[in-house]
Amino acid sequence: MARLLMDDMEWAFFEPFLRAVRGRGGRPASDHRRVLDAIFWIARTGSPWRDLPEEFGKWSSVYRQFRRWTLAGLWELILDVLNDSGTRPGQVQMIDSTIIRAHHLAAGAKGGFTTKIHLIANAHGLPVRAEISGGEVSDFKGFDALVDDDLPEARVFIADRGYDSNHIRSVITRRGGTPVIPGKINRKEPIHIDAITYALRNRVERCFNKLKCSRRLATRYDKTATSYLGFIHIVAARLWVRNLST
């Protein structure tokens, strides 16, 4: 028996979403629970799809269902619902990025040998939104990819000095927030920030550490950006659900 399968509370949360996207003549919900557990197992272990234990069924069937759900935007939808629920308010948000090395099996993937994950987290250290890019892409572009009209507004937005730009500061201010971003050394006029508030930034780093406990994220094995980003959203959603149960 595989470890760390979903408990009944977790399944009670995910089940309505899977039922909503099930097509006519699709698999019954009981089978979906096994498939979702299989996807979580792949995310956690980083194993190849073909090494999926037989207790989860045919690996090819699980993979096809994973792709269907991913292309339907299911994982991103679940993460958005969790953030909009108000159970863990996101009045304070923080942004950061991390570079992930691609496995040689992912040769040909967009971004070459490295992929950068751009992430916004809330003050509880839970993911709000994630995007990926090539490892050489600047954090400025990562910010623009994450922050749009659909992103929940925050009163305080924290980032390190790598995000120090007039454009980023104006976007945060226009959205009704206060930027807490140290100024770069070459700024003519120093920017002073509240050190206590800025100390909260470590929570986005801790969020990355929790996400990377899933080996499918810590190393990129997927050639397609949609699959890799799908795994990020999957792990992020489960991190949320487990946090809510504690």
Look at residues 93, 168, 145 and name the one whose alpha carbon lies nearest to residue 182. Answer: 168
pLDDT tens for each residue of 42-76: 999 999 999 999 999 999 999 999 999 999 999 99
Q: 236 vs 79, 130, 132, 172, 232, CA distance in Å?
A: 7, 9, 14, 24, 6
Query: Whats the size of the chain, residue-wise?
Result: 246
Cβ contact 210:239 at 8 Å? yes
pLDDT, position 106: 64
Whole-model pTM? 0.92
Q: For residue range 5-51, what is the model confidence (pLDDT) as tens digits?
A: 899 999 999 999 998 886 555 555 568 999 999 999 999 999 999 99
Q: What is the mean pLDDT of residues 114-119?
A: 95
Give, in degrees to the nearest 5, the angle at Cα 58 between 29 and 69: 50
52 DSSP assignment: -
